[in-house]
Amino acid sequence: DIQMTQSPSSLSASVGDRVTITCRASQGISNYVAWFQQKPGKAPKSLIYTASTLQGGVPSKFSGSGSGTDFTLTISSLQPEDFATYYCQQYNSFPWTFGQGTKVEIK
Amino acid sequence: EVQLVESGGGLVKPGGSLRLSCAASGFTFNSYTMNWVRQAPGKGLEWVSSISSSSNYIYYADSVKGRFTISRDNAKNSLFLQMNSLRAEDTAIYYCARAHDSTVVVSAVDIWGQGTMVTVTS
């Protein structure tokens, strides 16, 4: 199985900060990476697919990059509604696997 | 509006069975691969199973293989997960999720349902 290692597991940031979350795959997965946002008690929301393509309706403050084994999710200017847990996921091959999540908290 | 609504969750004893359903609306259900993803209380996301649009391709996580069966009824715009031989570690919220690209068998998830809770306890 492909392991997805996400870092950091949590971070504290202020409104307006630029935030970067990293995900590393245990083997090359081309660009078959998706990113999700989840708020407490809610279903996940899809943000990005193929490493860098925004899902419809997702604001451009979110961006993704990477290919092969190393991927990043960046939030350009953190807003109150962005405080949540973020997950990466590979869909290059089954079984699909997720990173362990990064909780973004208010500083 | 594109919508997925899960149902069928509940409390069940170890070794018991449960059948989850996911009702789809607002899109051409028979064109899309569908998926089940679960989340144990306080834990991360875990992919469970995927089924292609015409049920030709079906995949399972090792943790559920041989116990869970995914199926779909395109005439009724519905996705199912039959769960047998349930264990305590199957306790989770189960989400139904659509793959975003109808032109390929495998693509990323774009739409999620609200989830249905399954609790396995004696």
pLDDT in tens, A76-103: 999 999 999 999 999 999 999 999 999 9
Asked if the Cβ–Cβ distance from B95 to A44 is below 8 Å, we say yes
Nearest to A43 among B46, B47, B114 (CB): B114
Cβ pairs A/B, distance under 8 A:
56
CB A48 within 8 A of CB A58: yes
Q: Does residue B25 carry a pLDDT above 90?
A: yes
Residues in chain A: 107
Per-residue pLDDT of chain A (107 residues; tens, 9 = 90+): 999 999 999 999 999 999 999 999 999 999 999 999 999 999 999 999 999 999 999 999 999 999 999 999 999 999 999 999 999 999 999 999 999 999 999 88
B110/A99 touch (CB, cutoff 8 Å), yes or no: no
- Whether chain B has a CB inside 8 Å of the CB on A40: the answer is no
Beta strands in B2-42 (DSSP E): 3-7, 10-12, 18-25, 34-39
Phi, psi dihedral angles at A34 (to 5 degrees)? -120, 155
